[in-house]
Amino acid sequence: MSEQFWNKQVVIVTGGSGFLGSHVVEELKANGAGKIIIPRSKDYDLREKSAVMRLFEDNPDVTMVIHLAATVGGIGINREHPGIFFYDNLMMGTLILEHARQAGVTKFVGIGTICSYPKYTPIPFKEDDLWTGYPEETNAPYGLAKKMLLVQSQAYRQEFNYNSINILPVNLYGPRDNFDPKSAHVIPDVIRKMMDAKEQEQGYVSLFGDGSPTREFLFVNDAARGIVMAAENYNSSEPVNLGSAFEISIKDLVEIIADEVGFDGELRWDISKPNGQPRRKLDVSRAEEEFGFISQTDFREGLRETIKWYKAEREMLKNETIS
């Protein structure tokens, strides 16, 4: 990546203090970004037109927007709040892209989701298959709302010749992930459950579904690097998958986490809970061909880094509680 390119950029990173966003900000800094602006939700509610307009009025020198802000979560919270997940994500994406265009921002980087793919997409998921069916029901409102950002991007390029791109990261994991039991995705949720069970000397953990679905996971540092590479080098509104090309069943994933955490209790699968999409594995060739991205982090090593970070966080919270 080119420091000469990045030191001229003034970049708004929505969601820049979140899980993926904080790693993207670090990657931008490492590449010499001239100025990075992270709008806080308490100052700018990105679901509100007036707040989005004010964001660009307050920062007239912005050259790029990387839109990472989103309302996200695992299967459980998607089922509880489909309306909120649809509305929040649709409004944020629509307003940010429109007002970036109106403000004359040179480039917009939209971050979509593989939840936008149809439930029964052929394996591996190719970008051209995005429109062959309806998404998996448990997260369809979220997936469709994020998919509209792609439609908007392509429409704006067609009508206004606006340079907007759309990146579709696979399931992410890594340090600073969300471990909240109400909204965590599968990897942090299982890590937390097993650590809790060990501490409480509970002989089992309960897990969603039957363990048969497969998933592909991308370490968050790799995702951040891929997004920044695309922001510099990719200039098309055709969507691009960002993944590792490594597929694993949820059952195998859980057993690896148990081994790494040191949990030797019973794994109880709750088949009354949904499995989610049957398989997820991406065709990642477009990212390599268009801007040279290949994931670098070994999956098990990435899990170890995630577990190490979470253990340190738990210890810190315990010490704070004691003091």
Q: What is the mean pLDDT of residues 34-40?
A: 97
pLDDT tens for 189-225 read 999 999 999 999 999 999 989 999 999 999 999 999 9
CATH number at residue 141: 3.40.50.720
Q: What is the pLDDT of residue 318?
A: 81
Query: Which residue range(s) make up the domain with 191?
Result: 3-322
Q: What is the pLDDT of residue 323?
A: 61
User: Is the pLDDT assigned to residue 321 strictly greater than 90?
Assistant: no
Q: For residue 2, what pLDDT band results from cuts at 50, 70 and 90?
A: confident
Structural domain total, the chain: 1
Q: What is the pLDDT of residue 283?
A: 98
Considering the chain, what is the average pLDDT of its residues?
95
Catalytic pick from 142, 156, 162, 310? 142
Q: For residue 234, what pLDDT band results from cuts at 50, 70 and 90?
A: very high
Q: Which of 160-164, 283-287, 318-322 shows the lowest mean pLDDT across its residues?
A: 318-322
Q: What is the pLDDT of residue 132?
A: 96
Percent of the chain clearing pLDDT 90 (strictly above): 88
Q: What is the mean pLDDT of residues 219-247?
A: 97
Between residues 74 and 80, the one the model is more confident about:
80
Q: What is the pLDDT of residue 277?
A: 82
Q: What is the mean pLDDT of residues 120-142?
A: 94
Q: What is the pLDDT of residue 140?
A: 93
User: Is the pLDDT assigned to residue 276 strictly greater than 90?
Assistant: no
Q: What is the mean pLDDT of residues 58-83?
A: 91
User: Is the pLDDT assigned to residue 79 strictly greater than 90?
Assistant: no
Q: What is the pLDDT of residue 300?
A: 97
Q: Which of 222, 99, 85 is nearest to 141 (CA)?
A: 85
Q: What is the pLDDT of residue 76?
A: 79
pLDDT tens for 42-66 read 999 999 999 999 999 999 999 999 9
Q: What is the mean pLDDT of residues 276-299?
A: 95
142 is catalytic: yes
Task: Check if the beta carbon of residue 27 is closer than 8 Å to that of residue 220.
Answer: no
Q: What is the pLDDT of residue 239?
A: 98
User: Is the pLDDT assigned to residue 320 strictly greater than 80?
Assistant: no
Q: What is the pLDDT of residue 74?
A: 77
pLDDT tens for 136-181 read 998 899 999 999 999 999 999 999 999 999 999 999 999 999 999 8
